Amino acid sequence: MSRNYEKLQANIPVGADFTIADIDNRAKELGIERTELVIKAVEIYLNLHDIVINRVNKLAKELQVPEYLILNNLVLENMGINKANIELKGKGYQGSTPFVIVTDELGTRIMTGEELIEFIAQDIINKSK
């Protein structure tokens, strides 16, 4: 199946932490083309909630580290917590899932954003009572 594309041109600043060769090498490691890698990267950033972007930017600025490191380490932290729960309890995370499916006036969807934050916080509070 062929896809139609709109043309996008971007310039990598001299002195950036990566080069076109780095992009090509990473794409090859992942078994995809350069274009697909760039599209995936843009899709991820475009679809992050503003609350996530703001939190990541704030942490990156406070810690003086790149945004990708904040995102990477937050996911790795979650994986570490799950691994510890498996070792301690014989099973993974038993709290609220980050993939709560709801059906409401918006249709059937996966809960996200502030709504998910509040749902998880309330679930943890309720389970600790």
* Domain positions in the chain: 7-47, 49-92, 95-129
Greater model confidence, 106 or 85:
106
Identity of the highest mean pLDDT range in 32-41, 81-90, 95-104: 32-41
Average pLDDT of the segment spanning 14-36: 96
Decide if pLDDT at 89 tops 90.
no
**Is 64 within 8 Å of 73 (Cβ atoms)?**
no
> In angstroms, rounded to a whole number, what is the distance separating the alpha carbons of residues 67 and 11?
20
Average pLDDT estimate for 35-55: 95
Question: Given this model, what pLDDT does residue 96 score?
Answer: 56
The predicted model scores a pTM of 0.75
Distance CA 40, CA 103 (A): 28
Q: Where residue 106 falls among pLDDT bands split at 50, 70, 90?
A: confident
Q: What is the pLDDT of residue 73?
A: 95
